[in-house]
């Protein structure tokens, strides 16, 4: 991971346009190719970003006090992030290695185990490929096939929020590069799914499923799995 603190402006050129005026910002360049721009607020959320696959071109640029221009171009859409840099305050790289992934709590882990054991809960004719399917950025909770033999990646949470949808989106981008699996669609499954997460998932073509923990455990009560 490369961390750059720079005084820069940022312009986004794509379906929409956006401009961040000149200010000190943190630029994160990750091993997966993603680039994100951060301020000293908004918690973990970037001001702007580009998901992989994308490329970064760094060029000298002497205009209006600037010293460099960085252009991040998305490999599929051609959309661009353009950073006009006035001053670089810090530039360092670190090798983080393979992340072991988030350790799930007991309920979340048990949901994964139960759903894998009863995969036809998601639909008749569905079959399990593998639990904890490995990828370069961590394991996918469940990889399975639907009744049409299409590949489906399932991300399971106790409480479904936006960061879970983002996580599944990254998995899908990687899995769809594998010709033996593609096309791969996603299911975001949780006991409770926040409205904002549901909207984001729908926008990205990801189906949402509300899981009933007691029903999966075989406990009789009113209600259905979905």
pLDDT for the residue numbered 208: 96
pLDDT for 32 equals 85
pTM to 2 decimals?
Answer: 0.54
Q: What is the pLDDT of residue 106?
A: 53
Q: Over 90: is that where the pLDDT of 187 sits? A: yes
Q: Give the model confidence (pLDDT) of 124-162 as tens digits.
A: 999 999 999 998 888 999 999 999 999 999 999 988 999
* 78, 112: one domain: no
Inside any domain, residue 98 = no
The band of 100, judged by pLDDT with boundaries at 50, 70 and 90, is low
Instruction: Give the mean model confidence (pLDDT) for residues 198-213.
Output: 93
For position 113, which CATH number holds? 3.40.1350.10
Residue 58 falls within a domain, yes or no?
A: yes
The more confidently predicted of residues 218 and 224 is: 218
pLDDT given for residue 207 in this prediction: 96
Please report which confidence band the pLDDT of residue 226 belongs to, taking 50, 70 and 90 as the band edges.
very low
Instruction: Give residue 54's domain range.
Output: 2-93
Q: Is 84 or 222 the better-scoring residue by pLDDT?
A: 84
Both 115 and 89 in one domain: the answer is no
pLDDT tens track for 38-82:
999 877 789 999 988 899 999 999 988 999 999 999 988 999 999
Residue 224 has pLDDT above 50, yes or no: no
Last residue of a domain, one of 60, 93, 126: 93
Choose one of 39, 58, 93: the last residue of a domain: 93
**Count of the separate structural domains present in the chain:** 2
Mean pLDDT for the stretch of residues 170-183: 94
Using 50, 70 and 90 to split pLDDT, how confident is the model at 205?
Answer: very high
Does residue 213 share a domain with residue 141?
yes
| Other C-beta atoms lying within 10 Å of the C-beta of residue 113 | 14
């Amino acid at each position: 991971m490369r961390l750059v603190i720079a005084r820069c402006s940022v312009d986004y050129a794509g379906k929409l346009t956006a401009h961040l005026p000149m200010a000190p910002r943190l630029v994160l360049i990750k091993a997966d190719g993603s680039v994100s721009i951060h301020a000293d607020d908004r918690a973990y959320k970037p001001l702007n970003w580009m998901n992989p696959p994308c490329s970064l071109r760094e060029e000298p640029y002497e205009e209006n006090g600037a010293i460099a221009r960085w252009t991040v171009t998305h490999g599929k859409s051609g959309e661009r992030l353009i950073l006009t840099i006035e001053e670089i305050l810090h530039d360092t790289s670190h090798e983080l290695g393979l992340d072991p992934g988030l350790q799930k709590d007991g309920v979340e882990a048990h949901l994964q185990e139960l759903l894998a054991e009863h995969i036809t809960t998601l639909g008749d004719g569905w079959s399990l490929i593998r639990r904890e399917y490995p990828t370069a950025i961590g394991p996918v909770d469940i990889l399975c096939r639907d009744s049409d033999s299409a590949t489906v990646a399932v991300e399971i949470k106790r409480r479904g929020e936006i960061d879970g949808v983002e996580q599944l989106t990254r998995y899908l981008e990687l899995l769809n590069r594998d010709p033996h699996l593609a096309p791969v669609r996603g299911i975001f499954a949780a006991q409770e799914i926040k409205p904002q997460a549901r909207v984001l998932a729908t926008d990205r073509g990801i189906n949402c499923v509300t899981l009933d923990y007691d029903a999966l455990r075989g406990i009789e009560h009113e209600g259905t799995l979905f």
